[in-house]
């Protein structure tokens, strides 16, 4: 399986050029396998406190683990990229998640421009498949005028996940720091309407060659997706795996980004075992762009991320 990397440079408007502001750079990682082409586009990046991931983990052991990855200490701030996966097979153009849009963080929300750089218009998308309903995965579904960005696409989300964010009471029962997540998701789902979404349950082939795998825990109904190719499955992990260090070496540790710490850890352990057992190539939403690689087992429930060369 060969990875091709490219970068596109484009000005962010005439006014920006006149002001001497830098041009935007969109990175692209591409896998081409037979008639299947998988592009990983960057929607920008997030800026988060380190505690958002690392807070619940055993701090002394974590500090030792992170030294192996070049960290002098547990970071106070992290800036994970947002890697959006696009699948084209000659019949379908499938987008896995839609990025943040303009309503979450100013460093994210660049997906539509990134698609434009590779000649894909929003109306070319035939299916939008969601891993879950957090802002950096869902909020880009509508534009500034509350119109659907991908108006010609069938929108697909797991039933458990959809029902959770569509429930008006979620904003009252979710952890208070995530109340804005619930309010933002509810507004977007209400704007589009329940009938706009196809919902599914369990592990199932939701599209030809696309297997939905429940990975509940990061959010109540989180899904990952295995894409069938002639050289083996390619797994879009969503946020079941969010970094290349702690999530791989100690998937059993709690991650603060998971809404259910225990279920999130159990899902990571199970998923990484499956990735290795089935020799899957994985694409992570938040590992350094393009986040494509393999998992290599290094111990009992312990792994190493091996980036795909290219």
Q: What kind of architecture, by CATH, is found in domain 3-307?
A: 4-Layer Sandwich (3.60)
At 310, the pLDDT band (50, 70, 90 cuts) reads low
Q: What is the b/e burial string over 257-276, where b = at least 16 CB atoms within 10 angstroms of the residue's CB?
A: bbbbbebbbbbbbbbbebbe
Tokens of 173: 């029962």
Q: What is the mean pLDDT of the chain?
A: 94
Residues 137-181 pLDDT 10s: 999 999 999 999 999 999 999 999 999 999 999 999 999 999 999
* Per-residue pLDDT at 294 exceeds 70: yes
Our measurement of the distance from residue 173's CA atom to the centroid of its chain's CA atoms, rounded to an integer in Å, reads: 24
In whole angstroms, give the CA distance from residue 154 to residue 199: 11
Tokens of 277: 């057992």
Residue 10: per-residue pLDDT: 63
Residue 17: per-residue pLDDT: 44
**Location of structure tokens 């683990």:** 65
Question: Mean pLDDT, to the nearest integer, of 243-269?
Answer: 98
At 193, the pLDDT band (50, 70, 90 cuts) reads very high
Q: CA–CA distance from 207 to each of 25, 156, 238 (Å)? A: 32, 10, 17
Q: Are 251 and 265 in contact (CB under 8 A)?
A: yes
Q: Which of 34, 29, 154, 153 is nearest to 89 (CA)?
A: 34
In whole angstroms, give the CA distance from residue 40 to residue 309: 15
Q: Are 69 and 123 in contact (CB under 8 A)?
A: no
In whole angstroms, give the CA distance from residue 177 to residue 90: 42
Domain boundaries of the chain, sorted by first residue: 3-307
210 sits in which H/E element: strand 210-214
Phi then psi for residue 201, to 5 deg, are -130, 155
Residue 114: per-residue pLDDT: 96
Its pTM stands at 0.94
CB neighbour class for 101 (10 Å; exposed up to 12, middle 13-18, buried from 19): buried
């Amino acid at each position: 399986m060969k990875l091709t990397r490219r970068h596109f440079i484009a000005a962010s408007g005439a006014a920006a050029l006149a002001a001497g502001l830098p041009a935007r750079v969109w990175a692209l990682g591409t896998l081409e396998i037979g008639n299947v082409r998988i592009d990983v586009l960057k929607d920008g990046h997030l800026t988060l406190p380190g505690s958002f991931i690392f807070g619940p983990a055993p701090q002394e052991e974590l500090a030792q683990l992170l030294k192996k990855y070049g960290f002098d200490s547990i970071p106070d701030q992290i800036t994970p990229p947002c890697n959006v996966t696009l699948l084209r097979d000659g019949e379908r153009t499938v987008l896995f998640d839609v990025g943040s849009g303009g309503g979450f963080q100013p460093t994210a929300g660049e997906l539509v421009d990134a698609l434009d750089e590779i000649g894909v218009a929003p109306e070319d998308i035939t299916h939008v498949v969601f891993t879950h309903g957090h802002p950096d995965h869902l909020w880009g579904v509508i534009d500034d005028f509350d119109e659907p960005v991908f108006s010609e696409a069938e929108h697909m989300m797991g039933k458990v996940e959809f029902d959770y964010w569509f429930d008006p009471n979620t904003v009252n029962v979710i952890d208070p720091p995530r109340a804005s997540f619930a309010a933002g998701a509810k507004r977007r789902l209400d704007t589009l309407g329940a009938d706009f979404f196809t919902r599914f349950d369990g592990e199932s082939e939701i599209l030809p060659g696309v297997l939905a795998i429940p990975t509940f825990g990061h959010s109540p109904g989180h899904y990952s997706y295995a894409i069938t190719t002639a050289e083996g499955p390619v797994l879009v992990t969503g946020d079941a795996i969010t970094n290349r260090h702690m999530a791989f070496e100690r998937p059993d540790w709690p991650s603060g980004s998971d809404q259910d710490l225990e279920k999130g850890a159990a899902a990571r352990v199970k998923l990484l075992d499956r990735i290795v057992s089935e020799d899957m190539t994985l694409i992570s939403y938040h590992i350094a762009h393009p986040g494509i690689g393999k998992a290599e087992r290094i111990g009992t429930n312990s792994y190493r991320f091996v980036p795909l060369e290219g």
